[in-house]
Amino acid sequence: MNIRVGLAVWRVAQVIATFAISMPALATNDSQVWVNSTTTVKLADKWRLSEDLTLRFSDKRNGVYEIESNTLLGYVVAKGITVWGGYTHDPQYAAGHFTVMEQRAREQVTFDNFAQLGIGKFNGRIRLEQRWRNGVHGTGWRLRPFLKYTLPFQKGKKPALVASVEPFLNLNNTPFQKTDGFDRVRAFVGISIPVVKNAALEAGYLNQHTFVPHAPDNNDHVASLSLIANF
């Protein structure tokens, strides 16, 4: 690893450390495992189809508590910039028993390789969601900006350090979306390793910090494993 790469790794570590230190010390904690697969297919010159499936397991909730499926159709408007729209199907569980069905409309803009630091590159996304829960009144509006930095361990090689941050901002209140403004922040650090042509395995640690008014905040400590494929 050369000096420039080393400096870039140090800067990423500083950002992650700063984020961790800024989180309130008083918080409840949960150990979780998230398993994800994301497949993006090129339908035509400018059209893309993406299917994303995530299973979430929780210690406190005694097993699987969420099976989130996202289907998005994208259109490339300029080099590296794609607009997307689609639907999220999100049944939720507790101790293996179904509790509630959440459905979402999702709109987003993605920015691929829009900036560079050393030999690493930044990707970004701005996502807007409308959320509904069966049997519960109201539509929850939520904004989710996302920033990801990918730093190859060696120039021109695929294995890489990956770090990302994603704040959740609630834009209104409903019976199931009660927090104004910042609701939670996800911060991830891990490694991306190619496994087959056009696919990589991304594994690491994710911290999801949820802000709870008038009570201790919540920290989810997540072992995250994702298979990401592009065709």
**Interstrand relation of 136-152 and 120-133 (parallel, antiparallel or unpaired):** antiparallel
**Interstrand relation of 217-230 and 27-42 (parallel, antiparallel or unpaired):** parallel
pLDDT digits (tens, 9 = 90+) for 119-153: 999 999 999 999 999 999 999 999 999 999 999 99
CA–CA dist 20, 30 (Å, integer): 16
Name every residue whose Cβ is closer than 8 Å to that of residue 115 and which is 6 or more positions away in sequence: 121, 122
pLDDT at residue number 180: 86
Using the predicted structure, report yes or no on whether residue 19 has a pLDDT greater than 70: no
- Under DSSP, the state recorded for 174 is B
pLDDT digits (tens, 9 = 90+) for 184-228: 999 999 999 999 999 999 999 999 999 998 889 999 999 999 999
* Tokens matching residue 196: 């087959």
Total domains in the fold of the chain:
1
CA–CA dist 180, 118 (Å, integer): 37
pLDDT at residue number 142: 98
**CATH label of the domain that carries residue 118:** 2.40.160.40
**CA 132, 133, 139, 145 torsion-angle sign:** negative
Banded model confidence at residue 1, pLDDT cuts 50, 70, 90: very low
Banded model confidence at residue 71, pLDDT cuts 50, 70, 90: very high
Average pLDDT of the residues of the chain: 91
**Interstrand relation of 199-210 and 181-196 (parallel, antiparallel or unpaired):** antiparallel
Domain that holds residue 52: 3-230
pLDDT at residue number 154: 87
